[in-house]
Amino acid sequence: MAEFEKANSIGEWFDQRLNTSGFWRVMMTEYWIPKNINFLWAMGALLAMLFTLLLVTGIFLLMYYKPDVNMAFDSVNYTIMQEVAYGWIFRNIHGVGASVVFLVIYIHMFTGIYYGSYKKGREMIWLSGMLLFVLFSAEGFSGYMLPWGQMSYWAAYVITEIFGGIPFIGDELVIWIRGNFYVADATLTRFFMLHVLLIPLAILGAIVFHFYTLRFPHVNNEEGEFFDYKEESEKYLAGNQKESKVIAFWPDFLSKDFMVISIFMIFFFYLVFYHNAFAMDPVNFDKADGLKTPAHIYPEWYFLWSYEVLRGFFFDIAGISGKSLGLIAFGFAQIIFVLLPWLDKSPMVKPANQRPVFKYWFWILMADLFVLTIFGKLPPTGINAWVGFYASISFIVLFLALPYLTKLEAKMVGGK
Partner 1 sequence: MFSLIVGLVVAVVLLVVNIVLLKISFVPKELRILTIISIMVGYVYWGFEPFAHHEMHPHVAEASYEFDGKGDIEALEAQAKEIEAKGGDRSALDTEIAQTKEFWSNVVAISELSGNVETGSELVVANCTACHSIESEGFPKLMEDTDAAAAYGVTPPDLSLAGRIYDKNYLAAFIINPVKAMHIEHKYPVTGSKVFPMPGSDWMSNQEIADMVAYLQEVASKVDAPTVADGASDFEIAKAKNKEVFEAACVRCHSMEYAGIDAKTSAEAMREYIGATPPDLSQHIRSRGADYLHNFINDPQRKLPGTGMPRVGLTLEAEKQVVDYMEQIGDSKKQEREALGPIVLIYLTILAVFALLWKKQIWKKLH
Residues lying near partner 1 in the complex (CB under 8 A): 35, 38-40, 74, 77-78, 81-82, 86, 88-89, 103, 107, 241-242, 247, 251-252, 255-256, 258-259, 261-263, 265-266, 269-270, 273-274, 278, 282-287, 295-296, 301, 304, 353, 363, 366-367, 370-371, 373-374, 376-379, 383-384, 387
CB of 29 to partner 1, least distance (A): 13
Nearer to partner 1, 182 or 273 (CB): 273
Contacts of 365 (CB under 8 A, 6+ apart): 395, 398
Torsion of CA 360, 364, 365, 371, to 10 degrees: 170
CA distance 221 to 349: 10
Backbone angles phi, psi at 32, to 5 degrees: -100, 135
CA atoms within 13 A on the CB side of 389: 15
Looking at 149-285, list the stretches that DSSP marks H as alpha helix, in order from N- to C-terminal side: 150-162, 170-178, 185-193, 199-215, 229-237, 254-274
CB of 327 to partner 1, least distance (A): 23
Nearer to partner 1, 22 or 379 (CB): 379
Q: Which helix (H) or strand (E) segment is 144 a member of?
A: helix 123-145
CB of 406 to partner 1, least distance (A): 20
Q: What angle do CA 34, 102, 288 make, to 5 degrees?
A: 165
Nearer to partner 1, 14 or 24 (CB): 24
Nearer to partner 1, 139 or 368 (CB): 368
CA-closest candidate to residue 87, choices 67, 57, 116, 108: 57
CB of 214 to partner 1, least distance (A): 20
CB of 73 to partner 1, least distance (A): 9
Nearer to partner 1, 138 or 283 (CB): 283
Q: What is the DSSP letter of 246?
A: E
CB of 7 to partner 1, least distance (A): 31
Nearer to partner 1, 22 or 282 (CB): 282
Nearer to partner 1, 120 or 377 (CB): 377
Q: For the chain, how big is the Rg over CA atoms in Å?
A: 24
3-state class percentages of the chain: helix first, strand second, coil last, to nearest 5: 70, 0, 30
CB of 17 to partner 1, least distance (A): 31
CA distance 75 to 114: 44
Contacts of 39 (CB under 8 A, 6+ apart): 256, 260
Nearer to partner 1, 1 or 85 (CB): 85
CB of 378 to partner 1, least distance (A): 5
